[in-house]
Structure 1
């Protein structure tokens, strides 16, 4: 179990990441690709990614190299995910390449003597080769599904931000059952090893990830910026316009519904839309369904309510 100790100052510094972290996507995605799971795991992404790796030049080599430093489960070196859990690929790799050689070797040795023999190439050739392999794997298996990943991330962030806004940070921490439990002033997280983490007023970044498997993960070194990566349900289907759905959008009421949703940072429930626009809840729900079918909004259940947020296309059209 991981026990994260939060002072009152830390509670004020808890937040959900603003964007996905691409190096975490690479690391956890590689683990999921190589895990002993069925072909339908992650909605078919594992099968799709495996086929792309096999037929893309440099794909197999990149996976082979990364596999030496990324076991299919358990600990992997902290320097592979060096940012605070919300970085682009370029930013993350830039930070990774600045890792001191002593730290690289020390963290690789934590993988064990037997694996050390297979990871020495990293210290012997420098981090450029490792960064190249991460870049190639990202190009092959992560970048092509970036829109789906972003949509899953934004939907999850919308729900968590809404809980934080309406109910406060302790309710947010309490919402991560079944894999975490808030027992003030400690967040108890299901973890493969016993670990205590004192935040010491550094706060905590919560990073949702479709590639995180089963239970959350974090960095081994307690002195690094605290980040907790937690699993979200993977839905790889992109919102697609149904036949005639765009035409059905024409009309002032639906335009108002879309604007109402897009202008709210924390999303809008069906009831809130109905109240703001002076329509019935059934009417608001019907309009939201049309908008969702047209790929302009996404919807997620929050307790007994349905929370709606705009897709990138919805934001563009609402402006």
Structure 2
């Protein structure tokens, strides 16, 4: 998004904040593998597994990129006519260094991804993750009621489904049989109007824009009256709304800027009302919404 100024308008609250955070941080190598348009090397976006992965695990997947794969993908990017010529010319010296020393380049880029995450994404991550999980849950409800075809047809105008074949309108030409491997659907806050694809031999993946991304920043910057707050009080309404994405007591306390003890009291009441369920995962207790809690949240949002 930062490399494509024409798409920034709907993200201005975020852009204005992180440009100040990133001032003085040299991210030129990372920018040299993320063109404003055209092919972006696949090693930067490892497809998600069946279980949620930590940031550390995601970064280690990038760090474990085979040097020969790195060289192939960077070379493909530099030869892609879909990337702007001026951008290729400006990054040419960095590309030569990367191709000459892929192991060092992989390590440096992984470290820069971590720096970028810490400055630009981590402060907003709970909000972004909540919005993405809300989109996923909404599409799961569509699938339960109307089947997979309704989900595919609602992803984006560039995505089509004819009952046996999924097509994505793109400047690239590629055909592949899934042979039972399936497709991972990934909502994105930042892909703009693009629909991005990951192709074999990696897990097939379609990244689509989450609708209404401008509202993500508006919801974070304005106070809107909540019908849930009128029903259960502002604090418990905030807990319910935050648990669109399962969280621990500590995470909820940090997000809501209150004590863990207060969160525990609210969780206890909501659990007694069958709105929240708690489950131990390793050393943490994770809270999530029950079906009743999700129904209450959907009804309040619809209202």
TM range (shorter): 0.5 to 0.7
Question: Normalising by the residue count of structure 2, what TM-score does the alignment of the two structures yield?
Answer: 0.67
| Contact kept in structure 1, 2:274 and 2:292, CA below 8 Å | no
2:116 to 122, 125, 137: 137
- Further displaced range: 125-134 or 190-199: 190-199
Cα separation, 2, equivalents of 1:243 and 1:215: 33
2:25 to 47, 53, 60: 60
Q: 1:141 to 1:227 in 2, by over 3 A?
A: same
Q: 1:121 to 1:156 in 2, by over 3 A?
A: same
SS at the partner of 1:69? coil
2:158 to 179, 182, 187: 179
Cα separation, 2, equivalents of 1:203 and 1:170: 14
In the alignment, is residue 121 of structure 1 matched against residue 121 of structure 2? Answer: no
| Contact kept in structure 2, 1:82 and 1:96, CA below 8 Å | yes
| Contact kept in structure 1, 2:143 and 2:150, CA below 8 Å | yes
> Relative contact order (C-alpha < 8 Å, sep 6+): which is higher?
1
Cα separation, 1, equivalents of 2:228 and 2:141: 29
Cα separation, 1, equivalents of 2:158 and 2:108: 36
2:138 to 149, 159, 176: 159
* Structure 1: stretches of 5+ with no match in the other structure: 1-31, 274-284, 289-298, 300-305, 308-319
SS at the partner of 1:198? coil
- Further displaced range: 175-184 or 222-231: 175-184
Query: 1:44-99 CA distances to partner (integer Å, 9 max, x unpaired)?
Result: 22222222211xxxx631x2221111101221111111233764321111111111
- Further displaced range: 182-191 or 101-110: 182-191
| Contact kept in structure 2, 1:198 and 1:222, CA below 8 Å | no
| Contact kept in structure 2, 1:33 and 1:50, CA below 8 Å | no
RMSD: 3.3
| Contact kept in structure 2, 1:79 and 1:99, CA below 8 Å | yes
* Structure 2: stretches of 5+ with no match in the other structure: 80-87, 238-269, 277-287
SS at the partner of 2:46? coil
Report the equivalent of 2:72: 106
Following TM superposition, by how much is the alpha carbon of 1:225 offset from its aligned partner in structure 2, in angstroms?
A: 0.7
Q: 1:269 to 1:245 in 2, by over 3 A?
A: closer
Cα separation, 2, equivalents of 1:42 and 1:265: 33
Report the equivalent of 2:5: 36
SS at the partner of 1:228? strand
Count of aligned pairs between the two proteins? 236
| Contact kept in structure 1, 2:197 and 2:206, CA below 8 Å | yes
Cα separation, 1, equivalents of 2:78 and 2:227: 59
Q: 1:248 to 1:162 in 2, by over 3 A?
A: closer
Report the equivalent of 1:200: 179
Greater helix content: 2
Query: 1:201-260 CA distances to partner (integer Å, 9 max, x unpaired)?
Result: 1011100010112021012x422111111101311223868699858625xxx9699829
2:128 to 138, 145, 149: 149
Report the equivalent of 2:275: 259
| Contact kept in structure 1, 2:156 and 2:208, CA below 8 Å | no
SS at the partner of 2:120? helix
Cα separation, 2, equivalents of 1:88 and 1:218: 23
| Contact kept in structure 2, 1:40 and 1:47, CA below 8 Å | no
